[in-house]
Structures are given as structure tokens and as C-alpha cells.
Structure 1
Amino acid sequence: MKIIIGGLYHESNTFNPMLTEKDHFSIVEGNQVYDRVCSTQVFREEGATVIPSIYATALSSGVVSEKTYRYFSDKILTVVKKEADIDGIWLHLHGSMTVENIGSGELQLLKEIREIVGFDIPISLTMDIHGNNTDELKDYANIIRAYRTVPHIDQCETEMITAKLLVDSIRSGEKITPAFVRLPFIIGGEQAIGNQDPLKSIFNKLEEIENSDGIASASFFIGFSWADTKNTSASIYIVPETQSYYQLAQEQANKLAEYVYSRRNEFKLVSIPLNPQEAIEKALNSTEKPVFISDSGDNTTGGGIGVNTELLSSFLQIGNLNNKKVCIAAIYDEKASKISENYNLGEEISLDIGIGFDSYSKSVTVRGIVKAKGALLGYLGGESDYVGSTCTISVGDIDIVIADKGHSFITMNHFAKAGLKIDDYDIIVVKQGYLFAELAEISKLHILAITQGATYQLIEELDFKNIKRPIYPFDEVELKLN
């Protein structure tokens, strides 16, 4: 049994006007791919020969340039062309990769793979629950399963499940077609958290379906609201154990669709939503620490640019911080970052922060002390996940982290590698929406500041042009099933 493995993962925010290029991605190739994905363990335990291609991933950002997509997809396709006698293909994709001049990067990649291997070779996909899936995906992939946590902590588990399902498919020789339902509604990024209803109850339904006879896997895709594409919506995939159970899978998909759609009005912002000034006031008046404020319109984990200075400017204008220590992590400004490299720790510095891209990223002049220099970690926050550098400027009781790339501090290690002690702060401003697991665990209060930007929370006010209408919450729509 010979199986090709690989990954090409990106969540593309079409409201971010900056194209995502090759240098935004972290990539491993060859034997390094074995350690990057958990499917390797399953395949080896099953006695399979594993052929690595690449694993390329980038933090959510703007549309991927066609040149960048072609660079990575060609690396995968080259391996597929070389290995003529494979039995299966396993890939970790996102579901919301939008490529310049192409559209869905996932669909394009699968189409080109099928042109090489035909339709007798099973393809298994691990996918992000925030995928905006195309109607055609089911025609090119046999096994599709989404994560079942938000924030995501079950990627490894999902990879192992889709690996085992691929092995079963190869051994059975079955050509499986997943059942699919597109749901005519868009869910905002911070309106669906895994440990809260209605998503918690939907996950329970998925478990029930998956444990029933004839069903191999069940997935609910929330979708990605900050992508103005014809595929932007929630969806459902149910994979039958064998093709003889396809009708059962479609029936289950329809029932689940009715249940999910009946609860569409229950998807609400789960953290405290306040305008920026109210958010700051509430944080300053809190008696607990730490308080986290999400600069939600500039959420770099959802494709925001990371350049907004609105909250920084507001904090600097406050005369009395109630003896609170504040950290703002991090503002993306490559020019300011390069200037700060010329200063040593403890030196005084006068620096303009803010790229002036729009009215929310206006340049702010700060005068302070260089407090720390360190590494900027990527999405995973691992010891080897370095993507850039940081410099922290102390202005009184406010510490401002400047980064040379647009990334988010989502783990404790992000702060540590930047040279900061998170316990020092009463208020921490982050470029996020919902808090990721480690920060959520220590947070005493989380405030969602409704700021402007590419991840603006009030999606009904965004200028969508390409989504399929009618669609909720823009329209009242009757659910129609096959």
C-alpha cells in the first residue's frame, strides 16, 4: 500500500486587500513532512509506504496570488506525477483558500490531481471547520472530515481519523461519494465557539451520526464569513462507510441540515461586544486580571492585516490607567520594526508606529524605552515556529509590541519568545476575535472591541458582492433539500 501525503493550507480573507505571497508561508518538504502530520503514524502502523510531498501553511491573510498557489501546487503535483503506482492520497487542506484568477484553491488542486491519477484512487481530506466548500468538492474527494473544535485543538485527531478511513477505503476497494448539503446562511467568525451552544449541540449530533451504522464520518462546516465568494456559507458532509449507504448518508445530511438551520438565530457573539472606548473603560474598571481585549476588526487569525493603531492611540490618550499595566501585542509595522533594531535594550526611543494604510492605522508617535526584543512566532507557537521579530517599547505603563509581520499572539509562548512575562499585565490587547485555548484559560474577562478592519464583526454591514443570494442573515430563506 503506497500513499502520498501533503498539505496546502490557507484561509483567505477577501476583505484584506493585500495578496498573500510565498514568503507568508511556512513550508516543510520531503522527510520533514512525516513529523508535521499525524497521519504518518496511522499509515505506518497499517504497513503503508508513505510518500511525502509538502506541507505549506500560512496564517489567514489576503487572497493567495496565482503565482504563489502555482508554486506550492506544482510541488504536490510533481510528486503525484512521479509516483505512478500509488493506492491513495491524503491531504490536509483548509477549505477557504481563494486564489487570484482561480477561485477555490482546494478545488483547483483536486481537479489537477484527478487529471493525473484518474478517479479510481481514493483521496482523503482533513479540513478546517471554517471551510467554504464548493459544490464540486464531493466529486473529487472521497473522504472529507472537518475539525470538531473551535478554537481548533483536534487537528491531529482529525488527521488520524481521515488516515484510517483512507486505509479502510483502499482495502475495501470502494469508490465512496460523500453526501453534501449547502446551508444558505453565513455565520460570523466569533459567533460559533465549540464549548457553547448551538455549536456544542451540533457537535453532539455529529457524534451521534458518526456512531450510527453505515456512516464513516460526519462534518459540519461553519464557513468563513470574511470571504466574498460564491462558496461562502455553512455546509455539511456525511461520508458513508460504503457506497451502498450513500442514500442513508444523504438522509442524515438532510436531517442535520434541518436541525442546524433551525438554530441559525442562536449564533451570537459569545464575548462581550463593545465599541473601542467602552471596551477600554470596562477593562480599566475591572478588579480582576488579566483582562483581554480583542481588536476584533484587525484579527490576524481571521485574515486581518494587523496594522490598526486605534486602540493604541486611545490608551495613550488616557491620563489615568488606574494603576493598570497594559500590553498591546502586536502591531505590524515593518518600517518601525527595522528602526527599532538600531536601539539597545534600555535605550530611549522616539518612534512612529502605524503604516497609515487607512484611518484606523494612522501613525502614532511614541516616546519610551526599549524593553524587550524577541522572536515572532507563527500560528502554532512552537519552539521552531519562527516567522519574524518583535520589539517592545514601554511608554509609562503601556508596553507596545511591534512586529515585522502580521501575526497574532495566541499562546503563552508567543509572549515568552517576545521577551515578555504575561503575568505582569492587567490588560492585554490582542489581534484576535475569540481567544485561543491557552489565553482563554487564564483570562478573567474577555472583551470583544468592535473595531474596523478586514475582520469587522458586523458582517451584515460588509460590502458583499459575490455571495449567492438569497442567504441569511441578509435575506430570509427557506431551506430547500435534495
Structure 2
Amino acid sequence: MKKLRVGITGIAIESSTFSPHRSTVDDFRILRGAELLGRYDFLDAEWARDVEWVPLFDARSLPGGAVTEEAYAELSGEILSRLRAAGDLDGLFFDIHGAMSVAGRTDVEGALAQEIRAILGPDVLLSASMDLHGNVTRELASALDLITCYRKAPHTDAWETRERAARNLVARLRSGGRPKKAWVQVPVLLPGEKTSTRLEPAKSVYSAVDDVESLDGVLDAAIWVGYAWADEPRCQAAVVVSGDHEDVVLAQARRLAQSYWDARGDFVFVAPTGSLQECLTHAVSSAERPFFISDSGDNPTAGGAGDTSWSLDVLLRMPSVVDSELTTLYAAIVDPEAVAAAVAAGVGATVSVAVGGKIDSGPHGPVWLTGRVEAIDADDPVAGTAVVFAVGGLRMIVTARRKPYHLESDFHALGLDPRRADVVIVKIGYLEPELYDMAAGWLLALTPGGVDQDLLRLGHHGIERPMFPFDADMPAPALTPELL
């Protein structure tokens, strides 16, 4: 049996065009060669062993603002140059997010896929793995032979999805069959926090994807929610069903698209919501401990700048938080200047610093605080240096670089124990698994920022209209899949 040569490449970031943050090359972790191959444990699986995997280039970043044109030119340029130099390939595994925005461009992943296709030629199979919060245009889907995305939010199946994309690619290279693809967009744009597969209707809508995949004549099925915090025509839900039976994939693509459209008005936030003040008042008076609050408008894992200071100002003005025997943790806000001041003063010192509001000053400018430096971690692999400022009962984490706080160990590294805290406020949307399991109570605060959950107040003008929920009374769309 011929040994297949399959390349691996990718570029991934989720980019909010409503955030003033700009993502540069320094924001990306870049892998080449053996390091890139080492990222994918499934390459040791039996189905992958008779393949020569050719590592090209991989760049991925924490979500943030739009990528600069200079950074994109450098990163995509290396993908294309390495692809040209790779020699003959049978296939290419394209590991992307699907919501990368580049300043001044639209549908950048579609354009990159088209450039890759031009280099590969028509006979090399190209398979993409994506986040379900990505966007799928006709241009992107047409350039690819196979395309799939996560089926869980939170994304507990991310690596399962990547393996499926690579395994299907190898299987199709062995069988010699290019599948048919039925593609259709659905004019609905919802935040991820309203489409968690932990609860209905997303739970049932996405469980149907597995049912469709199991049908004779179907290879794969996928539903994309789309990315709500970029203002581009491509930003909307989409469905792709692939397989060998044309009638089946077209019918099932329509079925999935219709189910998503029919459920559009039933999607609800993954937790009860309120203003930050309302959430804090409830949390402080509750007997549930620890009580978590999602500071959702500046969530760095959705594209927020990470330094929006509006919520910090609210916290410092609430006597029930600072003038209290309760322990309240706040994670986190990025401000390298404030971190440097804390490090210079040392643990135990009291310093006055202006924190946050220097990248995203729209909701609020820098907030002045006088606090005790309680902890310093100078070796955080993501944050660079992280510090804890204490003001009364409030413990706030400030970082030199943007960092999400999703794991219990993130807090322990700074001597904080979220399980023993009364209230834990995290810049996040839906709680990631460790926090979700830890939380005795949970509210989602609808706070301002580059990933504001209230889409209607963000000011979209570049999306296609009509679009739900922007046009709540829009007529029903045709939802007719195209065979690509």
C-alpha cells in the first residue's frame, strides 16, 4: 500500500472587530517541524501510522482583536512558502478556528484556503477542522474537500474533532473518493453563551448531527453557530453535510439548517443574567459558596481586550465587596505597568496604581486603586508575570499579558483558593468545566466590552441583513443547500 504524504498546517485566532486590541505575531505560538507533529497525539493511532505526516507551520493565539495586516502577511506567507517547498502531497490537514479577522479584510480564512488550493492543485484533498464559532462562506467551503467542526460548547470535543478531520482525510485518500458537500448558511447570529450544548435547544440541535452522520451515504455533518463579535458578511450560522449520496446530503443539510432556524427564538443564556451590580448583590447575599459571576463583556477567550476596567470600578465602589469580611476574587485584568509597579514594590508593599482601560478605554478609562501587593508569580507561561492586589476583601489578579483563568491551578499559583472564596468573578462567558463543577452558584453578568453579550447595542453594520435577532420579524429564509 502506497505511503501517503499528508501536510499539516494551521492558523487560528478568534478576533473581535469590536475590540480596539490588535493581534500581532507576538500573540501567536508558532510551531514547526517535530514540535508541530508533537501537538497531535492521534498521529500515533493505527490509522495514521502508514502516513508520512509533513509538518509545515502552525500559528495559534488566544482570542483577541483583529490581526494586523503585517502579522497576517508574515504568518500566511510562511504557510504558503512552506507549502510550495513541501513537494508532492496527497492531502493537507488544515487546522483553523474560522473566526480570524484581519484589519481591512473580510473572510480571510476563505481567501487563505483558496490560495492553498491554488498551490495544491485540484487533485490533492484538503480537510479542515474548525471551531463551531467559526464562519463558513461559499469560498471557504468550495476550497475544501472535507470540513468539520466541534459539536460541544464548551469545546470538550476539540481534539476528537481534529482527529475526525484527519482520519476522514486519510480514509478518503485510501478509498479514492472525494465526497460531495451540501452547504447552506442560516441567517442567525447568536453569542456562544446562548448556544451552549449543555442545555436546550442546542443540546438537541447538536445531538442530531451525530444522527445525520450515522446515515448511509453521509461522511460528516456540522453546524456552525458563527462568530457574533465580528462585523463581517460571513458572520452567521452555517451547515455542511458531506458524503457520497447527493440526495441524502442535500436533504440532511436542509434538515439541520431548518432545525437551527426553528429553534432561533428558544436559545437562552447558559446561566441567569443581570447587570454586574445585580449579580454582585445576589452573590453577596447568597448562601451558595463559592458563587461565580461571569464578567462576560471582556472575556479574553472570546476576543475581549482583557483590560476593560468597567467592572473593576464597580467592584471597588461596592462596600459589600471591599468593606466586608467576605473574600472576593477577580480574575483578571491585563496591565503590564501596574504589574511592574507591584514587582518593584514587592510582596507586602502598598502601592497606588492606575489599572486597566488603556487598550479598551471605551467602557471606562484606567481605575486608580491603592492596594497591598499580596502575591507575585513571575514565571506564568501565559501571563508572563501575574500579581495579586488586595483592597479590603477584594483580591484582584493583574497580569502582564492577557490570560484567561479557567483552571483551579491558575488561582493556586498565586496563593488563591477559589473553593474557599465567597465570590469569584472571572472574565469569561460560560464557565469552563473545572469552574463549572466548582461553582455552587453562578450568574452571567451582562457587562460592556468588545464581546458584549447584548449584540443589539454593539452596532453591527457589516453583517448581511435581514438577520435574527437584529431583524426579529424577518420572513423565513429558503434554506436551500448548495452542492459544492
User: What 5-or-longer segments of structure 1 have no aligned partner?
Assistant: 378-384
One-letter identity of the residue aligned with 1:461: R
One-letter identity of the residue aligned with 2:94: L
Structure 2 contact 48–167 (Cα < 8 Å) conserved: no
- After superposition, residues 180-259 of structure 1 pair within 5 angstroms as 180-240=183-243, 242=244, 245-259=245-259
- After superposition, residues 120-139 of structure 1 pair within 5 angstroms as 120-139=123-142
Structure 2 contact 355–367 (Cα < 8 Å) conserved: yes
User: What 5-or-longer segments of structure 2 have no aligned partner?
Assistant: none
Going from structure 1 to structure 2, the CA distance change for 1:425 and 1:32 (only over 3 Å counts) comes to same
Specify the alignment match of 2:275 in structure 1.
275
Distance in 1, matches of 2:175 and 2:25, equals: 39
Specify the alignment match of 1:48 in structure 2.
51
Q: Report the alpha carbon displacement of residue 43 of structure 1 after superposing the two structures with TM.
A: 7.5
Mean CA deviation greater in 222-231 or 73-82 = 73-82
Distance in 1, matches of 2:383 and 2:40, equals: 20
1:15 aligns with 2:18: yes
Structure 1 contact 5–50 (Cα < 8 Å) conserved: yes
Number of residue equivalences: 472
Distance in 2, matches of 1:376 and 1:462, equals: 37
Specify the alignment match of 1:170 in structure 2.
173
Distance in 1, matches of 2:475 and 2:63, equals: 30
Structure 1 contact 369–393 (Cα < 8 Å) conserved: yes
Structure 1 contact 66–100 (Cα < 8 Å) conserved: yes
Distance in 1, matches of 2:216 and 2:51, equals: 27
Distance in 2, matches of 1:88 and 1:43, equals: 18
Per-residue deviation, residues 133-183 of structure 1 (Å, max 9, x unmatched): 112222111111101110111111111111110011111222224211100
Per-residue deviation, residues 439-468 of structure 1 (Å, max 9, x unmatched): 011011111111111111111222111101
Distance in 2, matches of 1:126 and 1:103, equals: 20
CA-based RMSD of the aligned residues comes to 1.7
- After superposition, residues 140-179 of structure 1 pair within 5 angstroms as 140-179=143-182
TM-score normalised per structure 2: 0.94
Specify the alignment match of 1:305 in structure 2.
305
Specify the alignment match of 2:441 in structure 1.
445
Specify the alignment match of 1:103 in structure 2.
106
Distance in 1, matches of 2:399 and 2:364, equals: 14
Distance in 2, matches of 1:419 and 1:52, equals: 40
Specify the alignment match of 1:318 in structure 2.
318
Distance in 2, matches of 1:19 and 1:113, equals: 25
Per-residue deviation, residues 30-71 of structure 1 (Å, max 9, x unmatched): 110112124523487341001111221111111111211121
One-letter identity of the residue aligned with 1:332: V
Structure 2 contact 306–402 (Cα < 8 Å) conserved: yes
Distance in 2, matches of 1:313 and 1:474, equals: 31
Structure 1 contact 138–179 (Cα < 8 Å) conserved: no
One-letter identity of the residue aligned with 1:96: A
- After superposition, residues 425-436 of structure 1 pair within 5 angstroms as 425-436=421-432
Specify the alignment match of 1:382 in structure 2.
none
Structure 1 contact 26–58 (Cα < 8 Å) conserved: yes
One-letter identity of the residue aligned with 1:346: G
1:65 aligns with 2:68: yes
1:457 aligns with 2:453: yes
Structure 1 contact 300–407 (Cα < 8 Å) conserved: yes
Q: Secondary structure at the match of 2:30?
A: strand
Q: Report the alpha carbon displacement of residue 350 of structure 1 after superposing the two structures with TM.
A: 2.1
Specify the alignment match of 1:413 in structure 2.
409
Specify the alignment match of 1:381 in structure 2.
none
Q: Percent identity at matched positions?
A: 31
One-letter identity of the residue aligned with 2:345: Y
Per-residue deviation, residues 75-131 of structure 1 (Å, max 9, x unmatched): 222221112221100021011111223322211221111111111100111100001
Distance in 2, matches of 1:388 and 1:87, equals: 41
Structure 1 contact 331–403 (Cα < 8 Å) conserved: yes
Residue among 469, 475, 481 paired with 1:477: 475
Residue among 374, 379, 386 paired with 2:382: 386
Going from structure 1 to structure 2, the CA distance change for 1:389 and 1:135 (only over 3 Å counts) comes to same
Structure 1's consecutive aligned runs of 4 or more residues displaced over 3 angstroms after TM superposition are 42-46
Q: Secondary structure at the match of 2:115?
A: helix
Per-residue deviation, residues 404-430 of structure 1 (Å, max 9, x unmatched): 122221122222234432233111111
Distance in 2, matches of 1:398 and 1:30, equals: 46
Residue among 328, 332, 335 paired with 2:334: 332
Specify the alignment match of 2:356 in structure 1.
354
Going from structure 1 to structure 2, the CA distance change for 1:12 and 1:416 (only over 3 Å counts) comes to same
Q: Secondary structure at the match of 2:65?
A: coil
Going from structure 1 to structure 2, the CA distance change for 1:114 and 1:474 (only over 3 Å counts) comes to same
Q: Report the alpha carbon displacement of residue 359 of structure 1 after superposing the two structures with TM.
A: 5.4
Mean CA deviation greater in 450-459 or 170-179 = 170-179
One-letter identity of the residue aligned with 2:131: D
Q: Report the alpha carbon displacement of residue 211 of structure 1 after superposing the two structures with TM.
A: 0.6
Per-residue deviation, residues 268-298 of structure 1 (Å, max 9, x unmatched): 1121111121111011111111111111111
Q: Secondary structure at the match of 1:178?
A: strand
Distance in 2, matches of 1:174 and 1:344, equals: 64
